[in-house]
Amino acid sequence: MKIAIYCFEGITMFHMAVPQMVFGEVARQGFGEWNVLLFGDAEGSIFTSEGYEISGLHSSESIEDADIIVIPSWFEDLREAPESLIEKLTAGHSRGAKIVGLCLGAVPIAQSHILDGRRAVTHWQAFDQLKARNATISWDNSVLYVDHGDVMTSAGTAAGLDACLHLVRSELGAEVALHVSRSLVIAPHRDGGQAQFVERPIAPTSDGTPISAVMQWADEHLEDVLTVERLAEVARMSTRTFLRAFQSGTGLSPAVWVRRRRLDESRRLLETTDYPVEQIAYKVGFGGSATLRQNFKAEFGIAPAAYRSRFSMADKPTSKKKQP
């Protein structure tokens, strides 16, 4: 696996080091031949924003056989990328390389049109400007990262760690990602109501509004029958008023939000417990494993059992098992 990380004049040490550190740890621990190289617009050296000189950069020609191309950040003024970099990104994507934009690294990827018609995330401070500049992209500032398989973007700064660990988990499995995270003393999988595998629904907040209160209540009663009428009753609103307020506050209908929260919780349980799929289905309100599988596959493109196989981080049993 050849991973090429783009470096530019004025990049911060942290942004440059995150993918180096995570992907380099894979090789250091012997989990795979992951070769990481730093490249720039030309061979030579650059200075970071902290004043450190980074020498020995490879030219952009060296990435023509890279499996993954990472743009770890970008200039704070969101300037356009040089055409030479855009050409390398589009050429790499066309031949099958995965393109990864961490933090503001989404800027040149958006410029390359690889993200057109897709969902993406970037640093929250750049959200409005990039949304106005790239209207064909569905920008989502409620998630840590979004992975489409061939292209991936992450939110700002520390979310790059989550994205890089996710990539390790996707390529080598949950156990390897867990070992890498422990070695680096970072969380293997941050929850926090934000996305890990794909974009996640808006999570309940505690801002004191009736809508946030009913979202919190629903999140604690996912196993119940959650009709619009029931939610409106909890919110002490008429059904029509509740629908209008909920849509305005979340951008989603109550039914869509409930479905996504149930899928989100089912995913968490698949990752962190050994509960049978049937039990998880009842716990999150789907009523049975067939309904869970149907909705899970439609949302994530993978069956619950296959998802668990790839992403389970349960270290010990959490459900009761019969003794022999």
pLDDT digits (tens, 9 = 90+) for 227-251: 999 999 999 999 999 999 998 877 7
pLDDT band at 314 (very low <50, low <70, confident <90, very high): low
Average pLDDT over residues 301-319: 69
Provide the mean pLDDT of the chain: 87
- Assess contact for 38 and 52: CB atoms under 8 A: no
Which domains can be identified in the chain, with CATH numbers? 2-184 (3.40.50.880), 203-324 (1.10.10.60)
Task: List, for residues 52-106, the tens digit of each pLDDT value.
Answer: 999 999 999 999 999 999 999 999 999 999 999 999 999 999 999 999 999 999 9
Query: Which two structure tokens, joined as six digits, stand for 216?
Result: 């919190």
Query: Which two structure tokens, joined as six digits, stand for 34?
Result: 């992951």
Q: Determine the pLDDT at residue 51.
A: 96
Torsion of CA 94, 152, 277, 287, to 10 degrees: -100
Query: Which two structure tokens, joined as six digits, stand for 209?
Result: 């509004």
- Assess contact for 186 and 165: CB atoms under 8 A: yes
Residue with tokens 């996710």: 166
d(Cα 67, Cα 126) in Å, to the nearest integer? 28
Three-class SS state of 135: coil
> Could you tell me which residues come within 8 angstroms of residue 280 by beta carbon, excluding any fewer than 6 positions away?
266, 269, 270, 273, 292, 304
pLDDT band at 163 (very low <50, low <70, confident <90, very high): very high
Percent of the residues in the chain that have a pLDDT greater than 70, as a whole number: 90
DSSP tally for the chain: helices H, then strands E: 13, 10
